[in-house]
Amino acid sequence: MATSISYDEVEVGTELPARSFPVTRADLVRYAGASGDFNPIHWNERFAREVGLPDVIAHGMFTMAEAARVVTDWAGDPGAVVEYGVRFTKPVVVPDDGAGAVVEVSGKVAAKLDGRRVRVDLTATSAGQKVLGMSRAVVQLA
């Protein structure tokens, strides 16, 4: 781990730079290919609606990974993230309108832990709705 952020310089309440992540149907197709998750709710509008969804939805793990990017970008080293977990609260609906959806992610240092680690709490929303709950990462700092 080669994070350049010093534990001694970080305070509880420190805000991480917020990010916006556009999500298009093409992104979902690429993610399906990379992950092997070809569930039709992620690419077939008719099927998604038949099972009660409003439209095609993003893969939960795709959404989770985008949120984690806020932490890894801040830490400067993906290996510095020693724990990460979320609860999926709402799906990210991705319309086929050329624009798709946007996932907005912000983070804040919520606690300083032992061993030069901090807990970062994340907030992830799309279309004004919280899409991840209990989104937390533990980061090992220098």
At 83 the three-state DSSP class reads strand
Q: How many domains does the chain have?
A: 1
β-sheet bridge partners, residue 136: 85, 121
Predicted pLDDT at 4: 82
In this predicted structure, what is the pLDDT of residue 87?
98
Which pTM does this prediction carry? Answer: 0.93
Q: Is residue 111 included in any domain, yes or no? A: yes
| C-alpha 82 chain-centroid distance | 16
Q: Identify whether 80 is part of a domain.
A: yes
Report pLDDT for 1.
Answer: 52
* Span 52-83, pLDDT tens digits: 999 999 999 999 999 999 999 999 999 999 99
CATH number at residue 63: 3.10.129.10
Grouping H, G, I as helix, E, B as strand and the rest as coil, residue 78 is helix
Q: Evaluate whether residue 91 is within a structural domain.
A: yes
Domain enclosing residue 95, as ranges: 7-22+59-140
Q: Which residues of the chain have pLDDT under 50?
A: none
Q: Is residue 42 part of a domain?
A: no
74 and 17 Cβ atoms separated by less than 8 Å: yes
**Res 10: pLDDT:** 96
| Alpha helices per DSSP H over 18-113 | 25-35, 45-50, 60-75
